[in-house]
Chain A
Amino acid sequence: MSSMLLSTIPQVSSSLSESYCLTLLSVQTKSKKTLARPGVKNVVLVEGVRTPFLLSGTTGLLQRTGLPKDAVDYIIYGTVIQEVKTTSILRHNINQRTLGAGFSDKIPAHTVTMACISSNQAMTSGVGLIAAGQCDSIVAGGVEFMSDVPIRHSRKMRKTMLSLSRAKTLGQRLGLIGSIRMAHLSPELPAVAEFSTAETMGHSADRLAAAFGVSRVEQDEFAVRSHTLAKKAQDAGLLQDVISFKVPGRDIVSKDNGIRVSSMEQMGKLKAAFIKPHGTVTAANSSFLTDGASAVLIMSEEKALAMGYKPKAYLRDFVYVSQDPKDQLLLGPTYGTPKVLERAGLTMSDIDVFEFHEAFAGQIMANLKAMDSDWFGQTYLGKKSKVGTPPMEKFNLWGGSLSLGHPFGATGCRLVTTVAHRLQKEGGQYGLLAACAAGGQGHAMVIEAYPQ
């Protein structure tokens, strides 16, 4: 596991003309000028980086920060499938990674887990610590090693092994060893399945797509859109959060290697992956699980400015939601979006940049249809009418989890960083990100551009 530090944090530039700022504000017709609230600390995103999301191989976290070695108060990491040797003892792990690069061994750290929104939880926990005045600067991130997940012995075998370590005599040991049968030896493989329903996520996504009448073609088209936009963004050099990473024993990897623009015909050839044979979710219209790591540096605004950083964005209101893990497993964005907008006092039209986690093309389409349905809004969201859908010309314009990949724990930071970068690039003021997660949970956050 290698470690890297970041070198290029943009310093505050004072060269912006006031007149430019004024023109910028005058074109905006937002319902609010800013989401800053009296008495609430402004929390800013200083920088966000990630490794390329890799289809295979191992990975490491990289950080792009010219931070003084003792300036970070706390480190929080999100991860889903914990392998003790690679991620779980994160304090140790992070230090291993960061000590050489200059992080102090005096910085406490912990891991959080909340399925696909683990790094969102890491960031919002950090926001909480800053807002509460406990910390001023936090490194939050997410890391996933799908290529090295722990595989457990069966419960019977674990029991036997534990008893074996307590056995005192040779006779007891032999007796225990003799009790081992074939059934003991089959391992428990981790599955992307719901604890409460034992249904795999792809299966649930297929049912969700069917419930909202999302066709196979719609799903394939959305997947192709994701790959096409990702390719464009990659070619245009927009994915500036990606930093090169040397895979031990192999070459340096400096870009996401899952982006594959296919024709609709190629997409159509694939067989259903979960509900066979009549399902609509295929390998090509699902996000793929990868190794990957991402990190953000978040600070209180004063601290960032005092240290001479040029923040990228404000992290504003956020919500977590939860609903039925069986039939509404992946509808988090539908529940989270109206709730966070309401909290921020914004409407759908105020948002310039939307970034939704693309777990499955069918899941995104189902969420869009749910947000566009009066019946769903009235029956399940307690609204008078539909929530309304994000306009596609503002939606996931640099690709998404379908094309870039989805390392469970690391996707959240990518979403935040992408929203911040897109706001800068496109000149918008407000961005909204939303994601669904196992257990029927969801998350949404409003991000405000930092005045340029």
Chain B
Amino acid sequence: MSVLVSLNGRRRIYEVKGDVAVVRINDPNSKVNTLSIQMQKEMAEVMDEVWANDAVKSAVLISSKPGCFIAGADINMIQSCNSADEVTTLSQEGQKMFERIEKSPKPIVAAINGSCLGGGLEFAIACQYRIATKSKKTVLGTPEVMLGLLPGAGGTQRLPKMVGLPSAFDMMLTGRNIRADKAKKMGLVNQLVDPLGPGLKSPEERTIDYLEEVAIEYARGIVNKKIPIRKEKEIQDYVMSFEFVRNQIYKTVHSKVMKQSKGLYPAPLKIIECVKTGVEQGPVAGYLSESQNFGQLARTSESGALIGLYHGQVACKKNHYGVPQREVKTLAILGAGLMGAGVAQVTVDKGVHTVLKDTTVSGLARGEQQVYKGLNDKTKKRNITSFQRDSILSGLTGQLDYSGFEKVDMVIEAVFEDIHIKHAVLKEVEAVVSPHCIFASNTSALPIKDIAAASKRPDKVIGMHYFSPVDKMQLLEIITTDQTSKDTTASAVAVGLKQGKVIIVVGDGPGFYTTRCLAPMLAEAVRVLQEGVDPKKLDALTTSFGFPVGAATLADEVGIDVAAHVAEDLGKAFGSRFGGGNVEVLKTMVDLGFKGRKSGKGCYIYQPGLKTKEVNPDIGDVLEQFRMTPNPAVSSDSDVQYRLVSRFVNEAVLCLQEGILKNPLEGDIGAVFGLGFPPCLGGPFRFVDSFGADKLVEKMRRFEAVYGNQFTPCQLLLDHAKDSSKKFHK
């Protein structure tokens, strides 16, 4: 017997196979399934029919979309609410619906292929049984915390019961994705199904069919009591039955969260509260706490900032410049240093033939070793097999000359930051490559048009500014000059997207966008040090504002020599506005060999194997030479924080004013993903919106009175301060 019931919108079809109802989820308007109000309504209707149909003994819930079960709740649905109560009501409706699923008299098997996240996971864990494919695309998780929210449809209550307190906290507080095999070990899914290769249909289609066939078998097995659905009591459950054990866990988790978030993120604390309430006071209190906290969190500025970043990230993972005429099949990288090898790693592992060229055998060997190590680390973490590692590495060619460059489609240079060297390299490359080849410079501060001045084909010259370490940092800043062709830009963006990057495309100028924002903040940091603030204190002030890395540590990471170089270059280009700290401080440190982490000494001393780092004792003498007297009127902890941040923010706004930035969104994404601007603030532009341009200008005027034009607010910022209705983000 097979009955097809199509519903309004044809979003879900339910079909009866024998005595099993197969409910297929398929949002017709989107590539992914999300839990929207509409979908919840339809789902409730379908389930009512399933429960009312006497021919049906059990049900299978499956998505027809390849690579996606349910990707989560519809964020817009939450954002369009006008009050916390409204969001709480949404949460309660979700809770009620999943409660009915949980109490279903007919067993429901969730057949999961592809992403099963957030609300999707909460749906799945309300079902009686879960089967997941071992496909790479199958991931389970509760990423709500990354949006400043919590799992608001019963997740905080069901997860601890299902996987135990420690795992539940780990999932909900990190929001990380869990692969199917791990989920099986944790008890999150009951059974695994192998993805299939090509047969009489494409692998994707056939795998979904197979998953459905297997799920139907299990659904029948559950009805026939051949397959048990209750999990056995484990030792962990016994241990958790002691209140003092549980209290110890709450305490540990709480202190860990406070240490990592500095208390700047409310969501993790609320998650702990909801779980605790549910476990200690019972489900009624637990579910109530969950829905109320969900409502409150949805209205916080932190959640708004994080959701903004999420949308921005999605927007910056698209190519807005069209499809390039030629696909880059062979990419060459000049310079096998930290950057060059990093770029090589993220390119070659995407299946692009990669040429890594250096001038010395030792430099090349070091670079190739870095790529090997990067991939081998993935093997150790079992992300890839050793066979995949070796097969990826076979796509990497290391060489010392330009042989074969006529076949290269794009060259990315990562040689020393010196315009003369860049020119020499550009000319060498143009002499050997074919005319379609694009030349990209991975410079962090030199204007691209100055580099392109030496080119025969300036339309093929572009900037691709990567961030170190390349395999970890998500951002790629692409810099176009007036002469860069649209196709060149499209091609650079396509390569960046293939490398897995979040991309902003900015205009040309000294320091472009990111370096230009960072430089004034670092100049201010040097001044703060000169005024007698200890590097550790400086780091604490910046991290407690929400920066993931303190300013002194950041300088060490970037490299004191690079910072000195950039400060000098940009100082020349922008004049006294980029002053503050004395560049000589940095130069003296470089002369003493304190180049930062890479040389083992900078603001701190780095010893291999040691996690804690001590302040470099010799730096005191250097700072003593350049000692400045702090002005108590602008030197409170809070003032120091705002001195650092306001210079960053003002420069970012100026970049938008000057047209370096196309929009505030890319500005926020660049600052957060490239420079570690506090994610809870959502980026410099969202920060101005939520903090208030007028309040910021007021602070800056106070600093301006002491230090001068370094704190003069730019015109655009003043405009926003004057008119509070002006916002960067609507």
- With an 8 A cutoff between CB atoms, is A227 at the interface? no
Cross-chain contact A379 with B199 (CB below 8 angstroms): no
Question: Chain B residues with Cβ under 8 A from A370's Cβ?
Answer: 199
Q: Give the complex CA separation of A142 and B386 in angstroms.
A: 31
Question: Chain B residues with Cβ under 8 A from A208's Cβ?
Answer: 197, 199
Cross-chain contact B200 with A376 (CB below 8 angstroms): yes
- With an 8 A cutoff between CB atoms, is A212 at the interface? yes
Cross-chain contact A211 with B198 (CB below 8 angstroms): yes
Cross-chain contact A211 with B203 (CB below 8 angstroms): yes
- With an 8 A cutoff between CB atoms, is A275 at the interface? yes
Given A203-B194, A210-B210: A278 and B217 interface contact (C-beta under 8 Å): yes
Cross-chain contact A373 with B197 (CB below 8 angstroms): no
Q: Which residues of chain B (207-224) have a CB below 8 Å from chain A?
A: 210, 214, 217-218
Q: Which residues of chain B (167-220) have a CB below 8 Å from chain A?
A: 191, 193-194, 196-203, 206, 210, 214, 217-218
Given A197-B387, A210-B210, A278-B214: A375 and B200 interface contact (C-beta under 8 Å): yes
Most B-side CB within 10 Å, residue of A206, A207, A324, A376: A207
Cross-chain contact A212 with B194 (CB below 8 angstroms): no
Q: Mark A324-339, 1 if CB is under 8 A from B, else 0.
A: 1011100000000000
- The 8 Å CB contact of B198, one of A195, A197, A213, A328, is A328
Cross-chain contact A207 with B387 (CB below 8 angstroms): no
- With an 8 A cutoff between CB atoms, is B255 at the interface? no
- The 8 Å CB contact of B385, one of A198, A211, A373, A376, is A198
Q: Which residues of chain B (676-702) have a CB below 8 Å from chain A?
A: none
Cross-chain contact B201 with A375 (CB below 8 angstroms): yes
Closest to B385 in A: A198
Within the complex, what minimum Cβ distance (angstroms) separates B567 from chain A?
Answer: 51
Closest to B387 in A: A196
Cross-chain contact B194 with A380 (CB below 8 angstroms): no
Closest to B206 in A: A211
Cross-chain contact B194 with A207 (CB below 8 angstroms): yes
Within the complex, what minimum Cβ distance (angstroms) separates B99 from chain A?
Answer: 30
- With an 8 A cutoff between CB atoms, is A369 at the interface? yes
- The 8 Å CB contact of B197, one of A195, A275, A278, A324, is A324
Q: Give the complex CA separation of A379 and B210 in angstroms.
A: 20
Within the complex, what minimum Cβ distance (angstroms) separates A220 from chain B?
Answer: 17
Task: Tell me how many residue pairs across A and B have CB atoms closer than 8 Å.
Answer: 57
Question: Chain B residues with Cβ under 8 A from A415's Cβ?
Answer: none
Within the complex, what minimum Cβ distance (angstroms) separates A411 from chain B?
Answer: 24
Cross-chain contact B196 with A207 (CB below 8 angstroms): yes
Within the complex, what minimum Cβ distance (angstroms) separates A34 from chain B?
Answer: 38
Q: Mark A248-269, 1 if CB is under 8 A from B, else 0.
A: 0000000000000000000000
Cross-chain contact B199 with A195 (CB below 8 angstroms): no
Question: Chain B residues with Cβ under 8 A from A327's Cβ?
Answer: 196-198, 203
Cross-chain contact A380 with B387 (CB below 8 angstroms): no
Within the complex, what minimum Cβ distance (angstroms) separates A133 from chain B?
Answer: 38
Q: Which residues of chain A (295-328) have a CB below 8 Å from chain B?
A: 324, 326-328
Closest to A198 in B: B385
Closest to A325 in B: B387
Q: Which residues of chain B (336-391) have a CB below 8 Å from chain A?
A: 385, 387
Closest to A209 in B: B199
Question: Chain A residues with Cβ under 8 A from B194's Cβ?
Answer: 203, 206-207, 210, 275
Cross-chain contact B387 with A211 (CB below 8 angstroms): no
Q: Mark A66-82, 1 if CB is under 8 A from B, else 0.
A: 00000000000000000
- With an 8 A cutoff between CB atoms, is A366 at the interface? yes
Closest to A329 in B: B197
Closest to B388 in A: A196
Q: Give the complex CA separation of A197 and B386 in angstroms.
A: 10
Cross-chain contact B385 with A207 (CB below 8 angstroms): no
Question: Chain B residues with Cβ under 8 A from A380's Cβ?
Answer: 198
Q: Give the complex CA separation of A370 and B198 in angstroms.
A: 10
Cross-chain contact B214 with A211 (CB below 8 angstroms): no
Cross-chain contact B214 with A207 (CB below 8 angstroms): no
Given A278-B214, A327-B203: A379 and B387 interface contact (C-beta under 8 Å): no
Q: Give the complex CA separation of A213 and B205 in angstroms.
A: 12
Given A197-B385, A207-B194, A275-B194: A212 and B214 interface contact (C-beta under 8 Å): no
Closest to A366 in B: B199
Closest to A206 in B: B194
Closest to B203 in A: A327
Question: Chain B residues with Cβ under 8 A from A369's Cβ?
Answer: 199-200
Q: Mark A residues whose CB is within 8 Å of B.
A: 195-198, 203, 206-208, 210-213, 275, 278, 324, 326-328, 366, 369-370, 373, 375-376, 379-380
Q: Mark B residues whose CB is within 8 Å of A.
A: 191, 193-194, 196-203, 206, 210, 214, 217-218, 385, 387
Q: Could you list 25 A-B pairs, sorted by A, with CB under 8 Å?
A: A195-B387, A196-B387, A197-B385, A203-B194, A207-B194, A208-B197, A210-B196, A210-B199, A210-B206, A210-B210, A211-B196, A211-B197, A211-B200, A211-B210, A212-B199, A212-B200, A278-B217, A278-B218, A327-B196, A328-B198, A366-B199, A370-B199, A373-B200, A375-B200, A379-B198
